[in-house]
Amino acid sequence: MKIGFIGLGIMGKPMAKNLIKAGHELVVYDISQAPVDELREAGAKPAASCKAVAEECGVVITMLPNSPHVKEAVLAKGGVLDGAKPGTVLIDMSSIAPGASQEIARACAQKGVKMIDAPVSGGEPKAIDGSLSIMAGGDRDVFLGVRDCILLKMGASAVYCGDVGAGNTTKLANQVIVACNIAAAAEALTLAKKAGVDPALVFDAIKGGLAGSTVLNAKAPMMIGGNFKPGFKVDLHIKDLGNALETGHDVGAPLPLTAAVMEMLQTLRADGRGQDDHSSLANYYAKVSGAKIGG
Ligand code: NAD
């Protein structure tokens, strides 16, 4: 199948490569030239614009940073909707605000384009090995039509969550749980350090009990080792929690824990740590307690 792929960053580049490996013909576009060249070498055909991608492909995937980037790529002049024929399927895999997904889907529907939102969880390693967790919203039949031949070539699971926007609502729930877990781990390991117990021993002792989690296993060793190389950046998590808080206000769901962690992340950004991994929440606690988990 001929598939358009727009947005070849940390996530989009390996996802596009997995579609090529699965035997699909790829037409790609990014505003940055380097990843386009890399995809050309992997067998993809570069296009000159989002519009040009859509003119050639019946399915177009977008993997972009946030709502404004997706609106620009899809709705602006020279965007996907300028080139798409009725019946085209747009799969937006970016993590954006659910309200923005719904707005873009409405504009798509006016042109006969069917959109699903299908954000992912798992990060770069799982994008590379094709084992992402995918959460989708939109028309169920459209989702089923692309699940096995496209989504499951990039992910280990693809779960239908409801109407358009439901994929991104699910992703926001994921991001709230991850952020609060990392902050709790940083808080607890700082407590241990200040109280004179080695955080590495605390991690070892508790990881198999109720406090153990995928987040703790991934992030505690980074905090203990003082390694904050991303991974998932503080700036991206600020974007997701901003979308979560906005959505929470819209639907009447107070998010006090999310708001507290958001301010910690904002403190890190103000300290010049926006490009750190989100496990850098340990550095927020180091700042307020005077004790480094890994020091
Ligand atoms: P990235 O910044 O590495 O890549 C985004 C790409 O989009 C860049 O190559 C950029 O040049 C391109 N781009 C921006 N605007 C464009 C436009 N108008 N037209 C064409 N290309 C454009 O971001 P990423 O880490 O790949 O993340 C993409 C999405 O996936 C984000 O919503 C992010 O929150 C989500 N996500 C990221 C991770 C992760 O670990 N990095 C994990 C899960 C989900």
Q: pLDDT tens for residues 186-218?
A: 999 999 999 999 999 999 999 999 999 999 999
Q: How far apart are CA 163 and CA 21, in angstroms?
A: 30
Above 90 in pLDDT, residue 244? yes
* Architecture, CATH, for domain 2-163: 3-Layer(aba) Sandwich (3.40)
Instruction: Please tell me the total number of residues recorded for the chain in this structure.
Output: 295
Above 90 in pLDDT, residue 1? no
- Reading the block at residue 76, the tokens are 């602006």
Q: Which residue has tokens 């992402």?
A: 132
Indicate if the alpha-carbon torsion angle 203, 183, 170, 158 is positive or negative.
negative
Q: How far apart are CA 80 and CA 137, in angstroms?
A: 20
Chain centroid to CA 284 = 23
Q: How many CB atoms lie within 10 A of CB 83?
A: 20
State the chain's mean pLDDT as an integer: 97
**Hey, is 184 helix, strand or coil?**
helix
If we measure between CA atoms, which residue out of 266, 212, 272 comes closest to residue 237?
266
Measured CA to CA in angstroms, residue 206 lies from 110, 173, 203, 216 at distances of: 54, 25, 5, 10
User: pLDDT tier at 150 (50, 70, 90 boundaries)?
Assistant: very high
Cβ(232) – ligand 1 distance below 6 Å: yes
Beta bridge partners of 62: 6, 92
- Given a contact cutoff of 8 angstroms between Cβ atoms, the answer to whether 62 and 93 are in contact is yes
Query: What's the rounded mean pLDDT across residues 26-54?
Result: 98
170-289 shares the fold of 2-163: no
- Secondary structure element (H or E) that encloses residue 204, with its range: helix 199-206
* Of 30, 36, 128, 235, best ligand 1 pocket probe by most atoms within 8 Å of the beta carbon: 30
Q: How far apart are CA 242 and CA 219, in angstroms?
A: 22
User: pLDDT tier at 161 (50, 70, 90 boundaries)?
Assistant: very high
For the chain, the structural domain boundaries read: 2-163, 170-289
Nearest CA to ligand 1 atom 39: 123
CA atoms within 13 A on the CB side of 27: 19
Choice among 114, 171, 219, 239 that is catalytic: 171
User: pLDDT tier at 123 (50, 70, 90 boundaries)?
Assistant: confident
Above 90 in pLDDT, residue 231? no
E-only strand ranges, 171-220: none
Cβ(73) – ligand 1 distance below 6 Å: yes
Q: How far apart are CA 206 and CA 220, in angstroms?
A: 11
Residue type, 285: Y
* Of 8, 10, 67, 77, best ligand 1 pocket probe by most atoms within 8 Å of the beta carbon: 10
CATH of domain 170-289: 1.10.1040.10
User: pLDDT tier at 289 (50, 70, 90 boundaries)?
Assistant: very high
Classify strands 132-137 and 120-121 as parallel, antiparallel or unpaired: antiparallel
**Maximum Cα–Cα distance for the chain, whole Å?**
65
Chain centroid to CA 140 = 22
Cα–ligand 1 centroid distance for 239 (angstroms):
12
Q: How far apart are CA 173 and CA 175, in angstroms?
A: 5
171 in active site: yes
